[in-house]
Amino acid sequence: MGIKGLTKLLADNAPKAMKEQKFESYFGRKIAIDASMSIYQFLIVVGRTGMETLTNEAGEVTSHLQGMFNRTIRLLEAGIKPVYVFDGKPPDMKKEELAKRFSKREDATNDLKEAVEAGDKDAVEKLSKRTVKVTAQHNDDCKRLLRLMGVPVVEAPSEAEAECAALCKNDKVFAVASEDMDSLTFGAPRFLRHLMDPSSKKIPVMEFDVAKVLEELELTMDQFIDLCILCGCDYCDSIKGIGGQTALKLIRQHGSIESILENLNKDRYQIPEDWPYQEARRLFKEPNVTLDVPELKWTPPDEEGLISFLVKDNGFNEDRVTKAIEKIKSAKNKSSQGRLESFFKPVATTSAPLKRKETSDKTSKAAAANKKTKAGGKKK
């Protein structure tokens, strides 16, 4: 899933690109959320103990609805305006990755059977999580729920991540929320992690700023995409023996995968025989997205619809749903609070910090030096 080890690589090499933010500080902001990823998390986490999950009378799983309902209300109560983006058709390149996940799930299902027979509770707990799959039905349920709640839904032509990034690039939303680091590779200017974590975990939201990532890593966006492909992405294999740190070093040294391939010691590193990195790069750079989305609108909830869907069809407690609807309605009031940034624009400060940052001088010099070498490189 996502880009292997990118979080750690950024924490080590671009700490200034990551900022911890309070959940509350995103009020009034429109945020695109990768729905499939969230649904997957809900299915794993919400109301699950061992093989037992939340179900309705017909025995269908309702964890995703419970999760989606509660988490979305939490966002609305904080004054956040969420937009959920659903996956469309996966790109052909991802099929291999999906097939791998499918076979892993198969294995887990088989192991699970054995574990259940053996009565190994820990293994059941662990393996049952691995058998979780988001089906079209889950997606449709959530879409229906969100529409009833008055929350906009966007259906991506292909990858939800890419669509989220495109919405953010075009200022349709303030930021993208996902747990998948792909968002950065797709160039989402602002990317949030842990926004959808349960409040009980008390994990602050981690905000990534792509421009700062590039500045700190001293890479161009194209080089960053190459770096992500080298780290290992969903679209193709990576070179065995090259992890994040080495990949960063190589990219800084050679500038692109092509040039790395020319200079790499082929005896030491085995390059996959069929390695469609160019194709992967194209998917990150020009993903199949659409900006032709309907205007994002947050409307009042459809109370009757919600009660009929959640209480009658899915066995939710009526009192809770009614209370939750009240919450959605009162949250509307909160979202009307304006933010200062919509009136005043940020400016640069002129005063230097008294407390000297040991590294700041060094890095700025290094960045300047790097720019020179880059410029020189182009001339050749």
Per CB under 8 A, residues contacting other proteins are 16, 19, 22, 24-25, 27, 297-300, 332, 336-357
Q: Which is nearer to other proteins, 268 or 355 (CB)?
A: 355
Give least dist CB 332 to other proteins, A. 7
Q: Which is nearer to other proteins, 52 or 343 (CB)?
A: 343
Give least dist CB 21 to other proteins, A. 8
β partners of residue 19: 207
Q: Which is nearer to other proteins, 213 or 231 (CB)?
A: 213
How far out from the chain centre does Cα 204 lie?
Answer: 15
Contacts of 316 (CB under 8 A, 6+ apart): 62, 65, 66, 69, 310
Q: Which is nearer to other proteins, 347 or 375 (CB)?
A: 347
| Greatest distance between any 2 Cα atoms in the chain | 71
**Within 10 A of 32 (CB to CB), how many other CB atoms are there?**
30
Is 338 annotated to bind a ligand? Reply is no
Phi, psi of 269 (to 5 degrees): -110, 135
Is 234 annotated to bind a ligand? Reply is yes
Q: Which is nearer to other proteins, 216 or 234 (CB)?
A: 216
Give least dist CB 36 to other proteins, A. 27
| DSSP H or E segment with residue 193 | strand 190-193
Q: CA 33, CA 47: separation in Å to the nearest integer?
A: 22
Give least dist CB 37 to other proteins, A. 26
Give least dist CB 318 to other proteins, A. 23
Give least dist CB 181 to other proteins, A. 22
Give least dist CB 344 to other proteins, A. 4
Is 222 annotated to bind a ligand? Reply is no
Is 361 annotated to bind a ligand? Reply is no
Give least dist CB 235 to other proteins, A. 35
Q: Which is nearer to other proteins, 25 or 220 (CB)?
A: 25
Q: CA 8, CA 5: separation in Å to the nearest integer?
A: 6
Is 147 annotated to bind a ligand? Reply is no
Is-contact 38 68, C-beta < 8 A? yes
- Burial class of residue 106, CB neighbours in 10 A (0-12, 13-18, 19+): exposed
At how many degrees (to 10) do helices 244-254 and 221-231 cross? 140
Q: CA 159, CA 272: separation in Å to the nearest integer?
A: 25
Q: Characterize 242-278 residue by residue with b for buried, 16 or more Cβ atoms within 10 angstroms of its Cβ, and e for exposed.
A: bbbeebbebbeebbbbeebbeebeeeeeebeeebbbe
Q: Which is nearer to other proteins, 130 or 194 (CB)?
A: 194
Q: Which is nearer to other proteins, 136 or 348 (CB)?
A: 348
Q: CA 162, CA 140: separation in Å to the nearest integer?
A: 20
Is 34 annotated to bind a ligand? Reply is yes
Is 161 annotated to bind a ligand? Reply is yes
Residues annotated in the binding site for DNA, as ranges? 71, 159, 232, 234
Residues annotated in the binding site, as ranges? 34, 71, 87, 159, 161, 180, 182, 232, 234
Residues annotated in the binding site for Mg(2+), as ranges? 34, 87, 159, 161, 180, 182, 234
